[in-house]
Structures are given as C-alpha cells and as structure tokens.
Amino acid sequence: MERICVAIRVRPSISDESSTGLHWKVEDNRISLHKRLGTPVSGVSHAFDHIFDESCANSEVYERLTKDIVHAAVEGFNGTVFAYGQTSSGKTFTMNGSQTDPGVIHQAVRDIFSKIQEATDREFLVRVSYMEIYNEEINDLFAVENKKLQIHESLERGVYVSGLREEIVSSGEQVLQLIESGEVNRHFGETNMNVRSSRSHTIFRMVIESKGKYDNHRDEYFSGDAVRVSVLNLVDLAGSERIAKTGAAGVRLKEGKHINKSLMVLGNVINKLSDGVKQRGHIPYRDSKLTRILQPALGGNAKTSIICTIAPEEVHVEETKGTLQFASRAKRITNCAQVNEILTDAALLKRQKLEIEELRKKLQGSRAEVLEQEILKLRNDMLKYELEREKLATELEEERKSHKEHQLKLGNLSSQVISDCDRSSTQEHESSKQHHNEESSVNHKKFEEEAFRTPCFKAAPSAFVARRGIYSKLPDFSPLPNAFSTVADEDTWQRLNKGYIADLDSLQVTPARRVQSFPCGDVTPVSSHRTDTSEIEHLKRQLELAIAEKEEIQKEFSLLKAEKDTLHRMASESSQELSKVVDQKDKAVKELITETQRRQELEKEIKQFSVAFASRQRSLLSFHTDFKSKIESLKAQNSVLVPKSYGYGIKDLPG
C-alpha cells in the first residue's frame, strides 16, 4: 500500500492589482494564508508532499512528482498523474507546458522512450490514445468521428473505453505529433477567467507492453516470458468555476455545469476514499465518466500523483481554500500498485512448475529437515545420558568396593585391637596388683561399651590391657633408640606412639610402619598399662572417624543411586520422545509422497488443459477466418461499406 502523492503548484500572479490584504505564503512543504501584516489566518495552513511556488518550472514538477511514476510504468506498474484546480490556475500549463517550458506530458513521453532504449533485455510495444470528456460524453481526440464512446468493463481489460483509437508508436516525436493533432480537436472556450479555458477533461493514455527478449545463448527469455502491460494516464482536468466569475452563459454555462458536477463527484470519491477502509462504504465511481475511467488510479492498482494548481490572487482565496481541502483529503488515499503481468499458457505452465518445485522444496526443507535434526539431537542426548550413566555406574561400583575394603579394614583393625588387648591382659595378670585389675576391668568395660558397639566387632575379653607382643623380632629399621628401656618416660612414649600408628590406613597399608613396634618385655608394666590406655583412646577415635566416614560413604552412595535413577528416567523419556518424533517424520514423509502425487496429477491436468486450449484456439481461429471470409464475400456482394475497426493486441507486435 502506498499513499497518493499530492503537491500544490502556485501560478504566478497575472493580475496587476497588488494584494491589499490576504495572501498565500509558502514555507518548505507548507502553505498558509496570511493577513496583510503577516498574521496567519488560523485554520488555513496545510502541508503536502511538495509545494511548487511561482518560480518553479515544469521540469522541476516533472522531476519531483512525475518521473518516478513514469519510470514505474515502463516496469509494468499502472500510473496516473493529474492536474486539479480552479479555472485559470495553471493545469494545462503544467500538463502541456509551453515552447520554452515543456509540460509534464511532453517530458513523460521523452522519458519513456529513453527508458525503453535503456532496457536492452526487453522488447516493448507502446500504444497511445487521447480522449476528452466533454459534457459527460467521451470523444476520441485522435479521430473526430469517434464520439460518445462508451465505457465497458471486463475481467481481462478492467474498465475501458470501447472504440477508442489506439496508435502504435515507436518514438517520442511520433507521440508529440499525435498529441498536437489531438489538441486541435479539444474543446477550448473563452471565459472571463481564461481566454483559452479547457471545457473538457482530457486523458492522454500510454499503454506500455513489454516482454523479456529471447536469449539464444541460454535458450530462454531474459526475465521470463510473461508480458507486462501497464497504463499511464496523464490527465488535465477542466477547472471548477463560479458562474458569476466566469460570466458563462449559453454553451459555456452548460459546459460549466457539467465540469462542476463531475468535479464534485471526483471530490466525493476522494472524500470517501480518505475516510479509511472501515468507514468508507460505497465509493461512487459510477457517478461520473471521469471517476469511472480514473477508478484504478483512485484507491486501486496504480501509482498516482495529483498536482493541485492554485491562483495566488486574493480574489480567488475561497476557490484556493477549496482546492487545498481537496488536496488534503486526497493525500490520505492509499493505493496498491503491482506489476501487471499477462501469462501465456506456456509461461503459466512454467511458472506453476516452478511454484510446485519451490513448494516441494519448502515441504521437504521445512518438515523433514527439522525432524531429522530433532532426531539427531535426541540421539545425541541419549548417547550423552548413556555415557553419563555408565560413568556413574562405574563410580558407584568403585565406591562399593572401597566401602567393602573399609569395612574389611575396620574388621581387621578391631580384631587386631582385641587380640592385642587379650595379650596385654594376660601379662597384666602375671605382674600387676589387684587394684590394677579393677581399673583395667573398668577401662575394658568402658571400651567395650563405647568402642565396640558395632555388631561386626567381637566382644572384648573381660580383663583388657593393651599389649604389643605380636612382633617378637626387632625390625630392620626402627626410629627408636637402641636402649629404649632407659627412656621409657611417658612423653617420649606418646610421641613415638603417635608415629607408630599415625592413622589406620598407614597401619594397614605400610608394612614398614608395623616394624616400629617392639617386644613387650622391654616395657615396664606400669608404663605399658598407661600407654595401652592412650592407644585405646586413639583407636577409639580412629574408629569413630571410620564410622563417620562410613556414614558419609553411605550418604554419597544413596545420592549416587538417586542420580542414577533420575538418569534412567530421563533416558527412557528421551527414547519415548525419539519414537514420537520418528512417527511424526514417517507421517510427514507419507504426506510428502501424497502431495507429490497430487502435484503430478495437477501437472498432468494442466498439460491436458493447455493441449485442449490450444486445439480450441485453433478451431476458433479457423472459424474466425471462415467467418471473416464469408463477411467479405457478403460485403462484396452487397457492396456495403463497413467502417474500419481499430484494435491492437499483443499478437499485433511488429516482428
């Protein structure tokens, strides 16, 4: 959708009277009415796409307002440029121009042919026609005999004037000559306002057909073999007039009434179109011939621009205000222009094939590819989960093993402690007194209660005294002094004892440490008792630590188990999803196959249709030729003159 481009052009003042009060002021794209001292009149200020002041030449108007539309017409877009305004405001001057300042039509014609020259990959056929709407009747300006032409509408051609002469042209000069000849037939008349006032609306029309040239190297058309057909209307409207001002009477009065009526309908159409899609309702295009012919340009398939001409004199302020209001409404209208292409059967078939191909690609690309990717992703995820699960299972197994080993170690340790205690207790019996017995009995009980609660440990013997007689031989290496018996003070013992069993692990794993023990005979009973007690304490601590460690491992174990369960669940969910996606893919593939079959059937049908169409065309052609020859012979027989009809189609293309 694009808006209609609206511009204002101010004609130079032609009155000798200097303004005594109101005057128009142009600032950039805004025009406003001012009082004598320059105070703006409130509510009379309008902005437009362009405002051309008195000094602007037609070339500037063409450059800024019309050129783009003309170029688009060469490319296949419909275009309309029209001049609107009160009588004597400069419409004809803008459209036709003068010797020194050629108008919009003149420049458009030249520009079109230079554009055609540039487009080397296309061949063109240009047809021109020139008509006027005079007193609500359509006359052909290229053929005076073609009067009161009728408007028709068909699906193929849209709205058209039947019987209008169209000339095939090949150069700008040819067109300008034709226009000149047409101008002679146009209705002008003298009024109080304009010595040469247009008494009709004129529409100069160029129909531009083009087709891509055939490229022999590539064995195909440069830009497809579709034919583009566009219509460019260059319209010079008759000016609205106040009968009192123009002093019209008789014929001029009748003309004036028709002019005003059709301009009023144009105003109504513009008003309705500017209301917006929802409010506009019925558009009265059919109320006048002008609006009927200009229908595609107003809210239809065309690029349109309107040049509203105004007279700057104070005496025309009211008319100028009306023109500016019309222009303000018109600039709200949106059109939807698109390239007009006519497809031959072959082009249609080719285009449909391409479309089918594209659709097929899209179908394959959009669904199957996405599904493939999804499946791949899910497979990767599954693999990842599997690996993680395996890793966790291995870790779990290792943890289990180490847990077992720990338990085994603990069992060994406790049985070792028990056997050590047993031996110490026997020695104690032989050497110590009664109170020692009691004390060790208490100690033993305490130990039994505190340290050996775990069921896997054996119950301790009733008389428990630590003893270290298991290693009878002295070690090859020992950190102890040779004459240990003389330094059996408690501190030294404690220190050495610490080094002796630093922790349970080193005790079990490093045999060299074991040989740090020494025969019990070297130790005095009293000090042996003390040392054993502290050793037990130490062992108890170690045991407690081992139990805590075991609990920790158990906790870790249950966490790992939970994690493993989650992974299992995720893996099964993934596999379910995977099977769902695979199902979906299968379905899509089936759909694709059905679609392809359908397309193939369609292609076949199109082929059959085009064959039938071609044969029908051939039979119609032969019928037409027969019919024509029969008419000719009848004509010859009756010697009746039949008026020549004019009609050119794409088949009349030269060469």
Q: Given the rule CB under 6 A, which residues bind ligand ATP?
A: 11-12, 14, 85, 87-93, 194, 197-198, 238-239, 309
Least distance CB 64 / ligand ATP (angstroms) = 15
Least distance CB 314 / ligand ATP (angstroms) = 17
Contact 389, 429 (CB under 8 A): no
Cβ neighbours of residue 329 closer than 8 Å, sequence gap 6 or more:
267, 270, 271, 274
Least distance CB 644 / ligand ATP (angstroms) = 33
| DSSP-H helix ranges across 337-468 | 345-363, 369-431, 434-451
Shorter beta-carbon distance to ligand ATP: residue 238 or 306: 238
The residue type found at 180 is E
Chain-centroid distance of CA 32 in Å reads 42
Query: Quick check: helix, strand or coil at residue 323?
Result: helix
Contact 236, 83 (CB under 8 A): yes
Strand partners for 2: 335
Shorter beta-carbon distance to ligand ATP: residue 11 or 467: 11
Shorter beta-carbon distance to ligand ATP: residue 209 or 313: 313
Shorter beta-carbon distance to ligand ATP: residue 132 or 535: 132
Shorter beta-carbon distance to ligand ATP: residue 78 or 92: 92
Least distance CB 54 / ligand ATP (angstroms) = 7
Contact 454, 547 (CB under 8 A): yes
Burial of 97-115, coded b for 16+ CB within 10 Å and e otherwise, reads: beeeebbbbbbbbbbbbeb
- The strand pair at 303-310 and 79-85 is best described as parallel
User: For residue 472, what is the enclosing H or E element?
Assistant: none
Q: What is the DSSP string of 151-182?
A: EEEETTTEEEEET---EEE-SHHHHHHHHHHH
Shorter beta-carbon distance to ligand ATP: residue 146 or 192: 192
Least distance CB 119 / ligand ATP (angstroms) = 33
Least distance CB 42 / ligand ATP (angstroms) = 29
Shorter beta-carbon distance to ligand ATP: residue 12 or 21: 12
d(CA 448, CA 440): 12
Going by the annotation, the residues of the binding site for ATP are 85-92
d(CA 73, CA 207): 9
Least distance CB 239 / ligand ATP (angstroms) = 3
Contact 572, 505 (CB under 8 A): no
Shorter beta-carbon distance to ligand ATP: residue 104 or 507: 104
Least distance CB 354 / ligand ATP (angstroms) = 50
Q: Is 535 left (phi over 0), alpha (psi -120 to 50) or beta?
A: alpha
Chain-centroid distance of CA 629 in Å reads 60
Record the tokens describing residue 649, joined without a space.
Answer: 């189609």
Least distance CB 9 / ligand ATP (angstroms) = 7
Shorter beta-carbon distance to ligand ATP: residue 14 or 562: 14
The residue count for the chain: 655
Query: Quick check: helix, strand or coil at residue 42?
Result: strand
Least distance CB 27 / ligand ATP (angstroms) = 19
Shorter beta-carbon distance to ligand ATP: residue 17 or 156: 17
Cβ neighbours of residue 626 closer than 8 Å, sequence gap 6 or more:
none
φ and ψ of 8, to 5 deg: -115, 135
Supply the DSSP symbol for 222.
Answer: B
